[in-house]
Structure 1
């Protein structure tokens, strides 16, 4: 059972003061967060790609590379790379370079993206949202399979027996599919035999269990061994010494972000009652003291089959020292509890 962190490198207004930190400051903070995550024994750190004012990381590979030479063990992944609006050749090259710098710790998490700012920015039409992803994923996988590539599609110029360099340390370079719970994306990942990462950020996480089963059936149908395919969750969370402290610290920025996105997407008002319901044992917020958070992750493992848990922290803008403490507790208090119990539970199967 792997435990890690994801971040979107947000630069939203501080919910108490209204102050907005610079993109440069937040980028430097995230490098420190990755270094700490490595030091406390976490398994993976993911950085999301965005192209708007309230997010600082337009290129996850660049930020991850900044931390690669300062870390030793932690795996470094995008979360996600918006493959639909990027060039698969460049994506492969960037992450292959990251793989070399980190000596084999890079991963790509490819997704279509729930934010659409990159499409007009790079000249793509949203009506091609699905076909862009399908075609570019096909090319990305072809590049990782072979040094020389011959390929032709509808959205990108053809490639005729050209080499793509540098080649990664890992063979093959890991490519995950990031999904918000769309059935077709889950089936696609299974048929291709690719690891699956689910964004479990609302409702009851156990409701994702049927999707995992669909994924595994699709993988088996295509001749892949489902038992060898990891399944990850990306879920909002925060750890503090007590459940009350964790909730009180995490709520203000969470409410701010959820209500900003809610106005953009037509969601209802996000209240403290909504927040408290979501941090209940069956809810999708992993907010609490170490024991509470550990038991919720173990429950997710048992009921949904998640083999990698990635806590998204912070959500919005929080004091850097609070985020660092949450990462420390996740690595030193939560992860050991989860690993021990899951290991014992599985040994008795």
Structure 2
């Protein structure tokens, strides 16, 4: 367990200024680059940037942001969390990330997924009714492209390929994962095509995902595939004390949870939901020791190779940057000591 990696993820969520107003997208993106520099300086292992196409998230092209980060960091591995593969082209995805891999001197990773929002489907001319077949076929093709050998492939969602190689090549291959929200079918598919499993734990207790990790291991055995790594990601914020962290996060969390509920048909948050998610759910909010102990409980429950902290909350950027510093300088060392 002392070999577990620790990373940070962001969806490019729009932060708030001192008056509580949304920060403009260009500044949010520039702030993300500064966030990654601090993450690199504190010794963290991974920095992930997600793709969205909606006003409350600033990043629609993670690779561009990651390339800028690569120029200002030295050791952080850099990946997407996630690349919405269903509405993208696997050939272009490989080309962009193999280019990022060259720019970053071998630090690039792909986290492919279907995405938790569907805005990209009409934006790029895809029918959301083809949700399943688009992802299945494109994931299969991406898996073949990652071998960096001539590919012959035919499907229904793009033009066929015959003995086609894709460039640029990489020096050591691209590490690739599939982001999974919690369906058994997605876990089995991830195993089938030989990707790492990246579990998004954004609500409820972490232990309910243990069965998915077990399923992933069994599916790899049945497919005769060498075991790939498992990562988990959960949202949170670290402050100087538990009370300060809750005060910083509460209003933004409530507003976002209410908005997401209205979009997806969820019931509105009930009194006590925020506290329950902190105490027993997927929200890692508190002072360094409180967050560290919760991370340890998760890592003792789930067999994972990486724990990622989704740090972007609708809060002032200064609070977000302080959270990153505390996570890297205090939380992670505490976790390593407790596990050791």
TM-score, normalized by length of structure 1? 0.93
Distance of 1:5 and 1:39 partners within structure 2: 13
Tell whether the 8 Å contact from 1:15 to 1:252 is kept in structure 2 after alignment.
no
Distance of 2:18 and 2:254 partners within structure 1: 12
Query: What whole-Å deviation, never above 9, does each CA across 1:146-193 have from its counterpart, x for those lacking one?
Result: 34322211110112223211112322x111010000110111112333
Tell whether the 8 Å contact from 1:294 to 1:335 is kept in structure 2 after alignment.
yes
Distance of 2:61 and 2:81 partners within structure 1: 11
Tell whether the 8 Å contact from 1:203 to 1:283 is kept in structure 2 after alignment.
yes
Residue of structure 2 in register with 1:299 after alignment: 297
Tell me the CA shift for residue 327 of structure 1: 0.4
Tell me the CA shift for residue 233 of structure 1: 1.1
Residue of structure 2 in register with 1:339 after alignment: 336
Tell me the CA shift for residue 18 of structure 1: 5.0
Tell me the CA shift for residue 320 of structure 1: 1.1
Residue of structure 2 in register with 1:258 after alignment: 257
Tell whether the 8 Å contact from 2:17 to 2:316 is kept in structure 1 after alignment.
no
Q: 1:13-162, aligned counterparts within 5 Å?
A: 14=16, 17-162=19-164
Corresponding residue pairs, total: 337
Query: What whole-Å deviation, never above 9, does each CA across 1:108-144 have from its counterpart, x for those lacking one?
Result: 0010111000001111111110110111111111111
Tell me the CA shift for residue 16 of structure 1: 8.0
Residue of structure 1 in register with 2:194 after alignment: 193
Moved more, 18-27 or 146-155: 146-155
Q: Counterpart of 2:146 in 1: which secondary structure?
A: helix
Q: Counterpart of 1:72 in 2: which secondary structure?
A: coil
Tell me the CA shift for residue 313 of structure 1: 1.4
2:312 to 311, 314, 331: 314
1:11 to 3, 14, 17: 14
Q: Counterpart of 2:272 in 1: which secondary structure?
A: helix
Moved more, 61-70 or 288-297: 288-297
Change (3 A) 1:248 1:50: same
1:267 maps onto 2:266 in alignment: yes
Distance of 2:73 and 2:63 partners within structure 1: 15
Query: What whole-Å deviation, never above 9, does each CA across 1:238-285 have from its counterpart, x for those lacking one?
Result: 1111111111111121111111111111122225621111100x3211
Distance of 2:257 and 2:108 partners within structure 1: 30
Q: Counterpart of 1:154 in 2: which secondary structure?
A: coil
Moved more, 264-273 or 209-218: 264-273
Residue of structure 1 in register with 2:183 after alignment: 182
Change (3 A) 1:71 1:271: farther
Distance of 1:244 and 1:208 partners within structure 2: 29
Tell whether the 8 Å contact from 2:51 to 2:60 is kept in structure 1 after alignment.
yes
Tell whether the 8 Å contact from 1:300 to 1:306 is kept in structure 2 after alignment.
no
Distance of 2:292 and 2:84 partners within structure 1: 31
User: Over aligned residues, Cα RMSD in angstroms?
Assistant: 1.5
Tell whether the 8 Å contact from 2:143 to 2:194 is kept in structure 1 after alignment.
no
Change (3 A) 1:272 1:241: farther
| Structure 2 alignment gaps of length 5 or more | none
Q: Counterpart of 1:176 in 2: which secondary structure?
A: strand
Tell whether the 8 Å contact from 2:177 to 2:198 is kept in structure 1 after alignment.
yes
Tell whether the 8 Å contact from 2:143 to 2:193 is kept in structure 1 after alignment.
no
Q: Counterpart of 1:9 in 2: which secondary structure?
A: coil
| Structure 1 alignment gaps of length 5 or more | 345-349
Residue of structure 1 in register with 2:168 after alignment: 166
